[in-house]
Amino acid sequence: MNRLRELDGLRGLAALIVLIYHVSLTYPNLAAPYYSQPVEDPLAFALTYTPLHLMRDGRMAVYIFFVLSGLVLALPVLARGRAYQWLAYYPQRLIRLYLPVWAAVALGVALVALVPRGAQMGSVWLQSAPDALGVTQIVLDLTLLTGVGGVVSPLWTLRWEVLFSLLLPLYMLLAVRFRRQWWALAFASLVAIGIGFRLDNEYLSLLPMFMLGVASAAGLDDIRRAGEALRPPWRGLLLSCAALLLVSPWLAQLVSAPGGLIGHLRVAVAAGAMLTVWCALCVPSFGKLLKARPFQRLGAISFSLYLIHEPIVIASAFWFGAENLILAGAVSCVVSVLLASVFLRFVERPSHRLAQFVAKLLKRSLPQPSAAATR
């Protein structure tokens, strides 16, 4: 199975957006709208309530991560069918997730200890950052299953990644059963997401986002054929629709839409995330951009960058102070990217090798499926 390099680039772009998002939250005017506070600065207004918000919408990027995870994990299962060895999958997947998480938590604890967070900062987000850590917080972030402790705030998404990884066989049962009706599976997932947001139920609103990716994997050939049939103007329209869906809750606030409608538009963000993944595969100009070296490099370090950047951004802001936020943001971006490369080499890749080694040991000890079973 050929590697989908455009999805690597999309993952890198999403990680970059999350980094920019957290850096932007160190600025009081840019953090204000996330805490329902008025925005008076014209630049902050434009970066919040116009399509420019795409550059710093962290939650949008997370939804893209969820769809990508569903697609990427489903593809090898669909390709191998009954030959896929689930008992080897579980330790391999959990090792690849948890070892980098534990290293990121260690880094977060170290930065909280080394850089005091007691200074007064104008950003509500920075003021809400914990200035001391308890054992319970650390244990929650190390285990993830029962919640998160806030040592590294982006780990809230890894909790759902772990749950999805554990539940992957159930997702795949649905994907195989409804492979020809994959589009119906995607639509049903969007309905479930909408109901989940309406009921304020995280399980119902977030776990189906992975199914959007699983359904996309099941219908990958159909999606590509449809993309090839589209004329260039329609491809551009498709990409524009994806972008507008991703920032629709913020655009709705620009026209003073009712609060209930804005909340319901979060399902539109999930649809936009799925459509963005499709565009990466079907819109040649977008795919070519994502295959460019900068995005490929970001894609290679995306998981490491996602795990470690937030404590660095916070430490840099408190280190340089409220009067030097531009310098703090620039330093935190450079340090995050450089340290992510180090993290990739000495933490993430070794965890991959260990996961592969464990998987090989288990595969050797497991009975191999017969030829008839794999057909």
Say yes or no to pLDDT of 165 above 70.
yes
The answer to whether the CB of 128 falls within 8 A of the CB of 142 is no
pLDDT at 151: 93
| pTM of the predicted model as reported, rounded to 2 decimal places | 0.94
Mean local confidence (pLDDT), 300-319: 98
pLDDT tens for 85-110 read 888 899 999 999 999 999 999 999 99
Sequence ranges of the domains in the chain: 5-172+225-374
Q: For residues 286 and 187, give the distance between their C-alpha atoms in angstroms, rounded to a whole number.
A: 25
pLDDT at 208: 98
Q: Could you tell me which of 273, 257, 271, 279 has the C-alpha nearest to residue 191? A: 271
User: Which range has the worst mean pLDDT, 230-239, 268-277, 354-363?
Assistant: 354-363
Q: Could you tell me which of 371, 375, 310, 374 has the C-alpha nearest to residue 339? A: 310
Say yes or no to pLDDT of 261 above 70.
no
Mean local confidence (pLDDT), 224-232: 92
Per-residue pLDDT band at 367 (split at 50, 70, 90): low
Q: How far is CA 262 from CA 55, 64, 248, 249, 254, in A?
A: 20, 19, 8, 5, 11
pLDDT at 263: 66
Top pLDDT among 14 and 262 is at 14
